[in-house]
Structure 1
Protein backbone atom coordinates (compact mmCIF):
# COMPACT_ATOMS: atom_id res chain seq x y z
CA UNK A 1 0.00 0.00 0.00
CA UNK A 2 1.33 3.43 -0.99
CA UNK A 3 0.14 6.45 0.98
CA UNK A 4 0.61 10.11 0.07
CA UNK A 5 -0.51 13.62 0.85
CA UNK A 6 -1.63 15.66 -2.14
CA UNK A 7 -1.21 19.41 -1.61
CA UNK A 8 -3.62 21.29 -3.86
CA UNK A 9 -3.81 24.91 -4.95
CA UNK A 10 -7.12 26.10 -6.32
CA UNK A 11 -8.61 29.13 -7.97
CA UNK A 12 -9.87 31.82 -5.59
CA UNK A 13 -13.20 30.81 -4.08
CA UNK A 14 -13.00 27.21 -5.32
CA UNK A 15 -11.41 25.43 -2.33
CA UNK A 16 -14.70 24.12 -0.87
CA UNK A 17 -15.73 22.71 -4.24
CA UNK A 18 -12.30 21.16 -4.78
CA UNK A 19 -12.23 19.58 -1.31
CA UNK A 20 -15.69 18.03 -1.83
CA UNK A 21 -14.85 16.69 -5.27
CA UNK A 22 -11.46 15.32 -4.23
CA UNK A 23 -12.95 13.74 -1.10
CA UNK A 24 -15.47 11.83 -3.21
CA UNK A 25 -12.78 10.05 -5.25
CA UNK A 26 -12.18 6.38 -4.52
CA UNK A 27 -8.78 6.04 -2.84
CA UNK A 28 -8.93 9.42 -1.11
CA UNK A 29 -9.03 8.85 2.64
CA UNK A 30 -9.68 12.48 3.55
CA UNK A 31 -9.63 15.91 1.88
CA UNK A 32 -9.66 19.10 3.91
CA UNK A 33 -9.51 22.83 3.26
CA UNK A 34 -6.49 24.45 4.90
CA UNK A 35 -4.83 27.86 5.14
CA UNK A 36 -1.40 28.73 3.84
CA UNK A 37 0.19 28.30 0.41
CA UNK A 38 -2.12 25.36 -0.39
CA UNK A 39 -5.91 25.36 -0.24
CA UNK A 40 -6.70 21.65 0.14
CA UNK A 41 -4.71 18.71 1.50
CA UNK A 42 -5.81 15.17 0.67
CA UNK A 43 -4.55 11.89 2.12
CA UNK A 44 -4.68 9.07 -0.42
CA UNK A 45 -3.96 5.34 -0.45
CA UNK A 46 -3.31 3.17 -3.50
CA UNK A 47 -1.91 -0.31 -4.09
CA UNK A 48 1.25 0.91 -5.85
CA UNK A 49 3.02 3.99 -7.23
CA UNK A 50 1.55 3.51 -10.71
CA UNK A 51 -2.00 3.61 -9.34
CA UNK A 52 -1.09 6.61 -7.20
CA UNK A 53 0.11 8.47 -10.30
CA UNK A 54 -3.05 7.58 -12.20
CA UNK A 55 -5.20 8.79 -9.30
CA UNK A 56 -3.47 12.16 -9.27
CA UNK A 57 -3.23 12.70 -13.03
CA UNK A 58 -6.48 11.17 -14.26
CA UNK A 59 -8.82 11.98 -11.38
CA UNK A 60 -7.60 14.73 -9.06
CA UNK A 61 -6.00 17.04 -11.64
CA UNK A 62 -9.10 16.70 -13.81
CA UNK A 63 -11.26 18.53 -11.26
CA UNK A 64 -12.23 22.05 -12.28
CA UNK A 65 -10.72 24.82 -10.16
CA UNK A 66 -7.43 23.09 -9.38
CA UNK A 67 -4.40 25.07 -10.51
CA UNK A 68 -1.54 22.96 -9.09
CA UNK A 69 -0.82 19.80 -7.11
CA UNK A 70 2.18 18.52 -5.19
CA UNK A 71 2.36 14.84 -4.23
CA UNK A 72 4.22 13.96 -1.02
CA UNK A 73 4.62 10.19 -0.66
CA UNK A 74 4.69 8.81 2.89
CA UNK A 75 7.97 6.96 3.45
CA UNK A 76 7.28 5.57 6.95
CA UNK A 77 3.76 4.90 8.03
Structure 2
Protein backbone atom coordinates (compact mmCIF):
# COMPACT_ATOMS: atom_id res chain seq x y z
CA UNK A 1 0.00 0.00 0.00
CA UNK A 2 1.34 3.45 -0.93
CA UNK A 3 0.09 6.79 0.31
CA UNK A 4 0.67 10.31 -0.92
CA UNK A 5 -0.30 13.90 -0.40
CA UNK A 6 -1.71 15.54 -3.52
CA UNK A 7 -1.33 19.31 -3.48
CA UNK A 8 -3.94 21.00 -5.65
CA UNK A 9 -4.23 24.47 -7.10
CA UNK A 10 -7.70 25.52 -8.18
CA UNK A 11 -9.41 28.31 -10.03
CA UNK A 12 -10.32 31.24 -7.78
CA UNK A 13 -13.29 30.41 -5.56
CA UNK A 14 -13.33 26.68 -6.41
CA UNK A 15 -11.35 25.19 -3.49
CA UNK A 16 -14.34 24.10 -1.37
CA UNK A 17 -16.15 22.54 -4.32
CA UNK A 18 -13.00 20.75 -5.50
CA UNK A 19 -12.28 19.40 -2.00
CA UNK A 20 -15.84 18.10 -1.68
CA UNK A 21 -15.78 16.34 -5.07
CA UNK A 22 -12.28 14.91 -4.64
CA UNK A 23 -13.12 13.58 -1.15
CA UNK A 24 -15.61 11.19 -2.80
CA UNK A 25 -13.04 9.58 -5.12
CA UNK A 26 -12.20 6.01 -4.06
CA UNK A 27 -8.75 5.94 -2.49
CA UNK A 28 -8.94 9.48 -1.13
CA UNK A 29 -8.59 9.38 2.64
CA UNK A 30 -9.02 13.10 3.27
CA UNK A 31 -9.37 16.35 1.31
CA UNK A 32 -9.00 19.73 3.03
CA UNK A 33 -9.14 23.37 1.93
CA UNK A 34 -5.95 25.16 2.93
CA UNK A 35 -4.33 28.56 2.50
CA UNK A 36 -1.00 29.25 0.86
CA UNK A 37 0.34 28.35 -2.57
CA UNK A 38 -2.04 25.37 -2.79
CA UNK A 39 -5.80 25.47 -2.27
CA UNK A 40 -6.58 21.84 -1.40
CA UNK A 41 -4.44 19.09 0.11
CA UNK A 42 -5.52 15.49 -0.35
CA UNK A 43 -4.24 12.36 1.35
CA UNK A 44 -4.70 9.33 -0.88
CA UNK A 45 -3.76 5.67 -0.89
CA UNK A 46 -3.55 2.92 -3.48
CA UNK A 47 -2.16 -0.58 -3.79
CA UNK A 48 0.78 0.41 -6.01
CA UNK A 49 2.49 3.57 -7.20
CA UNK A 50 1.06 2.91 -10.66
CA UNK A 51 -2.46 2.72 -9.21
CA UNK A 52 -1.86 5.97 -7.37
CA UNK A 53 -0.68 7.64 -10.55
CA UNK A 54 -3.72 6.42 -12.44
CA UNK A 55 -6.02 7.72 -9.71
CA UNK A 56 -4.43 11.17 -9.80
CA UNK A 57 -4.35 11.46 -13.60
CA UNK A 58 -7.64 9.73 -14.45
CA UNK A 59 -9.78 10.92 -11.56
CA UNK A 60 -8.37 13.78 -9.52
CA UNK A 61 -7.02 15.87 -12.41
CA UNK A 62 -10.33 15.53 -14.26
CA UNK A 63 -12.25 17.43 -11.55
CA UNK A 64 -13.48 20.74 -12.91
CA UNK A 65 -11.74 23.71 -11.33
CA UNK A 66 -8.34 22.08 -10.80
CA UNK A 67 -5.49 23.88 -12.54
CA UNK A 68 -2.46 21.97 -11.23
CA UNK A 69 -1.51 19.05 -8.98
CA UNK A 70 1.67 17.97 -7.27
CA UNK A 71 1.82 14.40 -5.92
CA UNK A 72 4.10 13.80 -2.93
CA UNK A 73 4.44 10.09 -2.08
CA UNK A 74 4.89 9.34 1.62
CA UNK A 75 8.14 7.55 2.48
CA UNK A 76 9.07 5.83 5.71
CA UNK A 77 12.78 6.34 6.35
TM over 0.5: yes
Task: Work out the CA distance in 1 between the residues paired with 2:24 and 2:76.
Answer: 26
Report the TM-score when normalising by structure 1: 0.98
Deviations 1:2-59 (A, max 9, x none): 0000000000000001000110000000000000000000000000011000000000
Residue number in structure 1 paired with 2:51? 51
- Runs of 5+ unmatched residues, structure 2: none
Aligned pair count reads 77
Task: Work out the CA distance in 2 between the residues paired with 1:61 and 1:34.
Answer: 18
- The residue matched to 2:20 in structure 1 has which SS? helix
Question: Does residue 1:64 correspond to 2:64, yes or no?
Answer: yes
Task: Work out the CA distance in 1 between the residues paired with 2:49 and 2:6.
Answer: 14
Measured on the aligned residues, the alpha-carbon RMSD in Å equals: 0.9
Task: Work out the CA distance in 2 between the residues paired with 1:21 and 1:76.
Answer: 29
Task: Work out the CA distance in 2 between the residues paired with 1:59 and 1:13.
Answer: 21
Deviation of 1:65 (Å): 0.1
Q: Give every structure 1 segment of 4 or more consecutive aligned residues whose post-TM-superposition deviation is greater than 6 Å.
A: none
- Runs of 5+ unmatched residues, structure 1: none
Task: Work out the CA distance in 2 between the residues paired with 1:13 and 1:24.
Answer: 20
Q: How does 1:1-77 map to 2 (within 5 A)?
A: 1-76=1-76
